[in-house]
Amino acid sequence: LVSRESKGKHSMVRVKNVNIGGNDLTVIAGPCAVESREQLLAAARRVRRSGARVLRGGAFKPRTSPYSFQGLEEEGLKILAEASEETGLVTVTEIIDEASLELALKYVDMVQVGARNMQNFQLLRQVGRSGKPVLLKRGLSSTIEEWLMAAEYIVSEGNENVVLCERGIRTFESATRNTLDLSAVPLVKGLSHLPVIVDPSHATGMQRLVAPMARAAVAAGADGLIVEVHPDPCRALCDGPQSLTPEDFDSLMSEIRTVAAAV
């Protein structure tokens, strides 16, 4: 169902009034985690002003350590809904199990299945049955085939609104958080009709590599980007080292507009 031949053309996913996979580049931006009302609203206002169309923010954080900040849960979802109301941005948040999915369905416009849950087949089926637009991240060590099969689980439940996200994979290289597999973009666009976006933040783990990889992703034909932006990265509770300041995000947006116009 997700193959290119099954459709014959590329599909577009609609998240309320925002299209992903059309002719325009769609940028999703916001902090790794919702930390407070003030933090999220500040981020939302700034990314909107710079041209982002979708606001991101984690309320359920799948952290490596059980002692790290785990997210504000339902409180965080309420803050996302409020930020959406105020700015008009549509929202995406990660869900990690059935309970968080049920809650997220009430408050946000799109749900994210994170890299760690890409092969949580029960969760994929539940997300499929929900009908909600889904951002499906590539697993930490998943092949393209495994990633597309994960998408197939969602679509086979009747939910065609799937956007794929390349976010770097685990390799022997330890200088960066992950290794961005940019060839996945044109490759997957040849194999599947689903839109493909790139996450240069988790792919690199380093603030100064985000802009170059974002430009490269656009040049490679990505339908959009998801970028971590924090009003004060030094004080972020999660992923500060890879988060852009609102000023840097604003510059990035003008750079990628130039690249997009050239491809």
Contact, 80 vs 55, CB < 8 A? Answer: yes
Judged by CB under 6 A, the number of residues near ligand PEP is 10
16 φψ region: left (φ > 0), alpha (ψ -120 to 50), beta (else)? left
Classify strands 13-15 and 134-137 as parallel, antiparallel or unpaired: unpaired
- Least Cβ distance, residue 33 to Mn ion (angstroms): 7
Is residue 231 part of the contact set for ligand PEP (CB under 6 A)?
A: no
Amino acid at 61: K
CB neighbour list of residue 169: distance below 8 Å, 6 or more residues apart: 138, 140, 141, 142, 178, 179, 181
**Exactly one of 115, 185, 244, 256 binds ligand PEP (CB under 6 A); which one?**
115
Q: Is residue 113 near Mn ion by the rule CB under 5 A?
A: no
Contact string (CB under 5 A) for Mn ion, positions 220-259, x = contact: -------------------x--------------------
Min separation Cβ 8 and ligand PEP, Å: 30
**In 114-213, beta strands by DSSP E:** 134-137, 162-166, 196-198
Half-sphere exposure in the Cβ direction for 261 (13 Å, CA): 6
Q: Is residue 202 at the binding interface for ligand PEP, with CB under 6 A as the rule?
A: yes
Which 17-56 positions form the footprint of Mn ion (CB under 5 A)? 32
Q: Which residues bind Mn ion (CB under 5 A)?
A: 32, 239
Q: Which residues contribute to the site for ligand PEP (CB under 6 A)?
A: 32, 58, 94, 114-116, 137, 167, 199, 202
